[in-house]
Each structure stands twice: as C-alpha cells, then as structure tokens.
Amino acid sequence: MRATAQKKDRYTLYTGDCRRVLAGLADNSVDAIVTDAPYAINIKRTAWDKSGVAFDPSVWAQCLRVLRPGGHMLAFGHARTYHRLAVAVEDAGFEVRDQIAWVYGQGYPKSTDVSKAIDKAAGKTRALVPRVDVNGVAGTDARKNGWVNSLTKTVRSDTRGITPEAQQWEGWGTNLKPSHEPILMARKPLDGTLVHNVLTHGTGGINVDACRADLGRFPANLVHDASPEVMACFPDVRANIGGTAWGTASAARVFYCAKPNARDKGEDNDHDTVKPTDLMRYLCRLVTPPGGTVLDPFMGSGSTGKAAMAEGFKFVGIDLMAEYVEIARRRIAGAL
C-alpha cells in the first residue's frame, strides 16, 4: 500500500505502514517520540494488534534515526508484553532510561473461573444462588451474574460448584485485574556530553519544572488516576492528613490522570485504545523542547497529536488505517 500525507503548518499526518513512512523521513528531524504501539494481546475486533510490529527492532531503528541525538521516546506497553517492546527498543540502539507506571482503578479482570470451567467441561449447568457480599451481608437478590446495589447492601449473585472437583476449585481464577500500563522511557545516545548535546541539538534533558505536580514535587515515574481503588493504596497519606481532604492532597503528590471520557475521545471515535489527552500532554511536555516536533508512528485516533497541539508543539503522525487517520485529523484540527 502506498503511503499518503496530509501537511498543515503544525502537523503532518501519514496513512501507511510506519516502516515505509519512517524510511522517507529525514535523519535527526524530530525532537521526541511519544507513542502507543500495538500490545499484541489479541484485542477483540482488531486486526492491527496481531502483527507484533512493536517487537521488531527495525521499526525502532528507524525511529532512532529520525530522532535527534539525546531525544527521548516514551512508548506505552502492556504488563504482559512490555518486556518484548523494551528489548526491541534497546536492541535498536536506544538507552532504556526508566519506566513510568500509569496506574488506574477502572480496569476489568478477564479471568476464567476455574470451578465453572470444570462444571462446564463435565456438562453440568449451574443455578444462580445469592452469595455473601463484600461486607459480609447475606444477599437475597439473585439477578444474573453481577453486582446488585440496593440502599442497604451490595449483593452478588453467583453459582456454586456441582461436581466435587468444581467445589474443590471454587474461588480460583486465571488473571489479575489490570491496574497499570507501563510506559517505556528511552533516549537516543547523546552526541558527546550532555552539555554539548543540549546546546547543539536542544535535546537530552527532561522538562522537570514544566511537569511538577501541584505541590511542586519532582515528576515521578508514577502517574495515577486518583480513583478510590488507587487512593486506597496510599493509607499513610490518608492517615497523615485525616478528614476529607486526603484524596486531593495525595493525588497532588504525583501527576494524576483518569482514562478518557467520551468528550475527550471526540464524536465518532470508535478506536479501541484511546489514551487521555491530559496524560499525553504531560508526556509530550516532559520530553519535548518548547516549539519542538513530536512523532507518533502508531498514532491511532491522534491522542498524541491532539496533546502536541495543545502544548504548542509540531506533530508528525502515522497510522496504517485511513479511518483512524481521519479521526485523528478531526481531533488534531479541533485542538488547534
């Protein structure tokens, strides 16, 4: 497939395979790369997630070539496949500098119930029964599979094992609830010393002051969504502060950002893996010099580009799918 380009003052968007498009970009022509490459975790409905392109060092070698010396790359990964991304990036010649954890409470566990699987394999159909809820109150409502809220209690309806084996394995599953995404932080090797690199190429450092959290704290390798689930992980802070202000004060210790809502995604954005603009703004700001150019070779619906516009940067985006490039174009133009 031939790549096509749409050029505007502050952004250029390419439709095509990033391996081909990157090959046509000039050496040392972008200041930072902020990207969200396919995780290869079999996301439903998506053909683009299956190729394993993010584990191909030749993609990252092209990124390295177009990035200025000392330029940073931030690349999202998945807990299960991040290691393959990190090795490919390192094998391409980048220095791995850090890993930022984006922690959130909204993840949904996709776990197989071992006991149910055993009964199903034995051909047994289980009946729904009320189960004790999280607070230890016996429930009476037996609506199908799920949490049922009432004024006084939360009741979970579920089934019980029929075969002795299913009874033995009750309470066992196969997966944890996803609560974070790792973001690889890598840098193109410096041209000489840090001072020489910064003064010659304008890259090499990270923008600490522009990314300080509310209380002036140094940017950390942790970003979270301030959800009750995550805040419950900071009991010391809650105890120290007391009262009702603990959430705000604790959240202020690190940059915090929730998953994107419908307004942030924009109308008709049906991309499956949209990232929140605020998080992308923070990441772009962290690694891009003022007025610099951000590249995203796996742009999707353009969250990096939208963020780059809001932060006053220029943007180069690439995606394989014309329909996503069109969504990205609308969102990026809207941000301007």
Binding site residues, ligand SAM, CB under 6 A? 17-18, 36, 38, 48, 51, 53, 271, 273-275, 298, 300-301, 303, 318-321, 324
Q: How far, in Å, CA of 157 to CA of 142, rounded?
A: 5
Q: Which is nearer to ligand SAM, 35 or 115 (CB)?
A: 35
Compute the radius of gyration of the chain from its Cα atoms.
Answer: 23
CB of 314 to ligand SAM, least distance (A): 18
Contact 175, 110 (CB under 8 A): yes
Residues listed for the chain: 336
Alpha-carbon distances, residue 305 vs 37, 266, 277, 327 (angstroms): 15, 14, 9, 11
Half-sphere exposure of 195 (CA within 13 A, CB side): 0
CB of 17 to ligand SAM, least distance (A): 4
CB of 45 to ligand SAM, least distance (A): 12
| Phi-psi map region of 35: left, alpha, beta (phi>0 left; psi -120 to 50 alpha) | beta
Put the strands of the sheet holding 146-149 in their side by side order: 128-131, 154-159, 146-149
Which residue number is nearest to ligand SAM in terms of Cβ? 300
CB of 131 to ligand SAM, least distance (A): 37
CB of 178 to ligand SAM, least distance (A): 15
Q: Which is nearer to ligand SAM, 48 or 246 (CB)?
A: 48
Q: Which is nearer to ligand SAM, 84 or 153 (CB)?
A: 84
Q: What are phi and psi of 32, to 5 degrees?
A: -160, 155
Q: Which is nearer to ligand SAM, 70 or 300 (CB)?
A: 300
Q: Which is nearer to ligand SAM, 203 or 303 (CB)?
A: 303
Q: What are phi and psi of 23, to 5 degrees?
A: -60, -25
Of 157, 4, 195, 179, the closest CA to residue 79 belongs to 179
CB of 270 to ligand SAM, least distance (A): 10
Q: Which is nearer to ligand SAM, 18 or 118 (CB)?
A: 18
Q: Which is nearer to ligand SAM, 231 or 283 (CB)?
A: 283
Q: Is 274 exposed, middle or buried (0-12, 13-18, 19+ CB in 10 A)?
A: buried
CB of 79 to ligand SAM, least distance (A): 15
Contact 203, 31 (CB under 8 A): yes
- H helices within the chain, ranges in order? 18-23, 57-66, 82-91, 114-121, 164-168, 194-201, 228-231, 235-241, 246-251, 262-265, 277-287, 303-310, 322-335
* Beta bridge pairs of residue 182: 101
Q: Which is nearer to ligand SAM, 43 or 249 (CB)?
A: 43
CB of 73 to ligand SAM, least distance (A): 14
